[in-house]
Amino acid sequence: MDLETPLRNYLDDLASAQATPGGGSAAALSGAMAASLASMVARLTLGKAAYAVVQDEIEQILPQTEQLREHFTQLMQADIVAYGRLSACFKMPRETDEERGVRAAAIQAQLLEAALVPLAMAESALAVLQLCVRIAEIGNKNVLSDIATSAMLAVGAGNGAAWMVMTNLHALKDHERVQTLLDRLHVALDRITVLSQQVVMKVGERQ
């Protein structure tokens, strides 16, 4: 996705019958919005006398949420590219044994890439939630609903990306690598669940 493309065009493409953008790109967009909301709450906390004691910490948090926002926008395009490369591998010639071998190796390599991109989304969603917990504790009370929304969008990003990871790992034949990546995914998902609950709890306590 070209970031200069109007959102309407992106959504039209997402709703179309074409293969991309798809679930992975949409999960990354959800993550980008989560990080954006976290940045917004941080900015609405900066410069407020009532939150003078946490200004230094918020100033440290904001660059992190902005970095995650940028990372998610990059992952939106990376997912589209990875899917395109995988699709191209399936179209490779397979008339001879040599061609079939080359095609199979190419597919396996691209399946790994196609799994690593959404795995990065899930782990980045976890990173957003880690920041959301702290923002929910010290951020501007007037916009706590926005940090709660940020957390829910991060949950959606992580869970949506997980489906993309598992779909691509299902056909990967390197079982040791599959298990390693699944372990990483499950760690991220478990932490996402715990931290999202913490954000809800902390927002509820401060409202």
Question: What pLDDT was estimated at residue 109?
Answer: 95
What's 7-206's CATH class?
A: mainly alpha
Burial class of residue 18, CB neighbours in 10 A (0-12, 13-18, 19+): exposed
Give CA 43 to chain center in angstroms: 22
pLDDT at 207 over 70: yes
pLDDT at 166 over 60: yes
Question: What pLDDT was estimated at residue 5?
Answer: 73
Domain ranges of the chain: 7-206
Whole-angstrom distance, CA of residue 83 vs CA of residue 177: 20
pLDDT at 1 over 80: no
pTM score, two decimals?
A: 0.93
Placement of tokens 């589209």 in the chain? 80
Whole-angstrom distance, CA of residue 172 vs CA of residue 111: 7
Q: What is the mean pLDDT of the chain?
A: 95
Residue 118 has φ and ψ, to the nearest 5°, of: -70, -25
pLDDT at 172 over 90: yes
Q: Looking at residues 71-75, what average pLDDT do you find? A: 97
Question: What pLDDT was estimated at residue 19?
Answer: 87
Question: What pLDDT was estimated at residue 2?
Answer: 56
